[in-house]
Amino acid sequence: MNMMMSSRIHICFLAVFMCASLAIFIPTPSLGHSHICLSDDHVALFIFGDSLFDAGNNNYFNTTIRANFYPYGETFFNYPTGRFSDGRIIPDFIAEFAKLPLIPAYLHPGYKRYVDGANFASAGAGALVGTRQGWVIDLHTQLSNFKRMKTLLKKEIGEAEAKTLVSRAVYMTSIGGNDYAAPYTANSSLFQSYSPEEYVDMVIGNLTTVIKRIHKEGGRKFAFLYLGPLGCRPAARAINAGECEEEITAMVKLHNKALSHVLQKLESQLKGFKYSITDIYNLGSEITNNPLKYGFKEGEAACCGSGPYRGISTCGSVNGSVQGYELCENPSDYVTFDTSHPTERTSLLYAKAMWNGNQSVTWPYNIKALVEQS
């Protein structure tokens, strides 16, 4: 047995059944040298980004950017989880489609099953370290958390198995929206210091650095979202007399074009690099402008908030009081839940587009295709 262990050839049993010879063999920490089997088609999800993807990391450090109170989580979980939604968010559905359990927040003290993946996303985060600095886990710190997780993974399952798992995994990222929205809503002079092109280059440059570092750590399969129609969200309409904010819209379009360009470039530069990009800008605009076509009743106003279009950020209360904000009866009738975030039903539409959307919305691969590639 010692000779077999030293050569990393493991015989493993799952109950009384022997695993297939092609499986990855995963040691069970509590059982010392005992092992369980991970099928050869198992693919983990490692999730980075902002509130579209955050499963509750912001619950576990000192910040006011949280969704750990009613009515967040009211429809699916029946309690607030820290997700900025009435229910599930995009990564929850992707995990379900990939036959994985929900991937909890990395900072959740009870979560250590990294063989299924980990969620590092933080609501309010940007690609730029300075975006809401001190209140969020910025993208570079999320990368540091991934590296720490990878070290623990290697100790748990062995270096060879960890290398295989990391290379098979899909790396999902939603980032950039806060880099453009935060300076605008704070009346920052940042946009006066740089041309739109210069500012977008900084955001994309920071994202590119993180992508390259994940690739250096062994990541090969990446999935990204275009930024959605941020200039037309309820928060923007509420302060712009019901119209879309053209300055943010212009920045979003520049960002999406630059992201597409840099990913094509990285595909030719980085060995084994494959990616998926999903256009939720056009999809989100289509749903917002034609809600009835997609089974919604309201496309422009939020389900939860106050003021015009319920676009003032007052959704929720730590003591459960509804005083000061309005809450719709059925979130599934609405495209947007609060001032800026999709309802669970909208997130499902986005997730389906990411998972198996055709080339008109998701390209050059969809996530299903990435998962199925060895």
Closest-CA residue to 260 (of 316, 306, 207, 335): 207
What is the C-alpha to C-alpha distance for residues 292 and 298, in angstroms, rounded to an integer? 8
| Residue 290, amino acid | N
Q: Which residues are catalytic?
A: 51, 338, 341
Give the CA distances from residue 236 to residues 184, 233, 249, in Å, rounded to whole numbers and listed in that order.
10, 5, 10
Angle at which helix 246-269 crosses helix 196-216, to 10 degrees, equals 40
| Angle value at C-alpha 301, between 298 and 307, nearest 5 degrees | 150
Residue 336, SS3?
strand
Structure token pair of residue 285: 């605009």
> What is the four-CA torsion angle of 278, 138, 197, 171, rounded to 10 degrees?
-30
